[in-house]
A = this chain, B = another copy of it.
């Protein structure tokens, strides 16, 4: 199976392709919707997502002591809200996220539709939430959506209960 990161035409092409995925298009829409003062109007889509991207080196430099930064919590919230919205786009079912972040950067996130848990994930090292490339960000979100849709397909009646 060809993955988003599997293409070899260089980073720029990868970026454009990643930005065109339904997941990143939704994420950009969500972020722009919060730009109430128009401060980000001049920014490109890739610039808006820049803070989601962390190189290995950058990740390593972020201390994992104490509470995670409010900005990283905001990105985490919006990332899982986006997973929920894309699930809704594809299935027609509202997927509500519930996220709990403890004081040391550990947490848990659940996405449910009806009585069905479509995503359940333990979060670790929340301080360092980020992805190596835009392609990896798109891929991670898309995979969560795909997995959720697969669960809905197995238990359609529970997802509508």
Chain A residues close to B by CB (< 8 Å): 98-100, 108, 110, 112, 114-118, 120, 151, 155, 158, 161
Contacts and interface: CB of A to CB of B under 8 A. Distances in A.
Q: Is the interface of A mostly helix, strand, loop or mixed?
A: strand
A98 B161 CA distance: 20
Contacts of A117: 112, 114-117
Given A115-B116, A115-B117, 11 more contacts: A98-B98, A98-B100, A98-B110, A100-B100, A110-B112, A115-B118, A115-B158, A116-B117, A116-B158, A117-B117, A155-B161
Please give me the 4 A-B residue pairs with the lowest Cβ-Cβ distance, nearest first.
Answer: A115-B117, A158-B158, A112-B117, A98-B100
23 contacts: A98-B98, A98-B100, A98-B108, A98-B110, A100-B100, A110-B110, A112-B112, A112-B117, A112-B120, A114-B117, A115-B116, A115-B117, A115-B118, A115-B120, A115-B151, A115-B155, A115-B158, A116-B116, A116-B117, A116-B158, A155-B155, A155-B161, A158-B158
